[in-house]
């Protein structure tokens, strides 16, 4: 609300000052630059994941994980099964207070379709040292395609605070040569 009303009741007819026009043009052009930078960065920056999300229930998703573990388990890693799904296949990882289940073994250079969901709380999936980050919500199945290009041991870290044991919530993805 103005302290005093404008002298001319038809204020929209008042000419805009040159400095205001310059700021409007600069702001508009900067907005266009930022808009097209986001599109470019998504396509070429390899920062934003192109993923899919579907509704599910914790029981349905847990059954998918258990089925995958039953079919493709190759060994145990301190009581947690290590699963080696076929190249090009579906990989199911489950987040629950305070663990990632199961551990995964992949073949370098092969693509896999990763599925993530949570049984209880919102968790964050961060694959280290690769820059892959997503939020994992209960009731949703997040799907993304991943092709490891280096062999070694990758850590899965929860980067969304999920309670007292949050700092212990680590998972493993092993990438091996063919």
Instruction: Write out pLDDT tens, residues 73-108.
Output: 999 988 899 999 999 899 999 999 889 999 999 999
Do 76 and 125 sit in the same domain of this protein?
A: yes
Instruction: Reply yes or no: is the peptide bond before residue 3 cis, omega within 30 of 0.
Output: no
Give pLDDT, residue 47.
61
Interacting residues of 111 by C-beta distance below 8 A, sequence separation 6+? 87, 88, 145, 146, 147
Nearest to 116 by CA among 65, 72, 159, 157: 65
Give pLDDT, residue 49.
67
Do 77 and 27 sit in the same domain of this protein?
A: no
Interacting residues of 48 by C-beta distance below 8 A, sequence separation 6+? 41, 42
Phi, psi of 23 (to 5 degrees): -65, -35
Asked if 84 contacts 168 with a C-beta cutoff of 8 angstroms, the reply is no
d(CA 168, CA 147) in angstroms, rounded, equals 26
Give pLDDT, residue 128.
87
Do 31 and 93 sit in the same domain of this protein?
A: no
Where is pLDDT greater, at 14 or 156?
A: 156
Give pLDDT, residue 71.
95
Model confidence at 45: pLDDT above 80: no
Structural domain of 61:
52-176
Give pLDDT, residue 16.
86
Domain count, the chain: 2
Residue 5 in any domain: the answer is: no
Do 156 and 102 sit in the same domain of this protein?
A: yes
pTM over 0.75: no
Residue 40 in any domain: the answer is: yes
Mean pLDDT, the chain, rounded, equals 89
Residue 4 in any domain: the answer is: no
Residue 6 in any domain: the answer is: no
Give pLDDT, residue 2.
64
Do 94 and 126 sit in the same domain of this protein?
A: yes
d(CA 145, CA 49) in angstroms, rounded, equals 9
């Amino acid at each position: 609300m103005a302290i005093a009303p404008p002298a001319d009741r038809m204020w929209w007819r008042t000419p805009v000052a040159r400095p205001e026009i310059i700021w409007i043009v600069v702001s508009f052009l900067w907005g266009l630059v930022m808009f097209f930078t986001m599109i470019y960065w998504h396509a070429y920056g390899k920062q934003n994941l192109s993923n899919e999300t579907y509704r599910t229930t914790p029981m349905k998703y847990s059954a998918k994980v258990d089925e995958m573990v039953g079919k493709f388990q190759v060994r145990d890693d301190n009581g947690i099964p290590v699963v080696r799904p076929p190249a090009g296949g579906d990989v199911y990882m489950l987040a629950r207070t305070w663990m990632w289940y199961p551990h995964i073994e992949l073949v370098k250079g092969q693509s896999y379709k990763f599925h993530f969901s949570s049984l209880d709380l919102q968790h964050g999936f961060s694959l280290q040292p690769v820059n892959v980050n997503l939020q994992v919500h209960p009731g949703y199945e997040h799907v993304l395609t991943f092709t490891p290009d280096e062999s070694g041991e990758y850590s899965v870290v929860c980067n969304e605070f999920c309670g007292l044991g949050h700092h212990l919530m680590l998972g493993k993805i092993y990438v091996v040569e063919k």
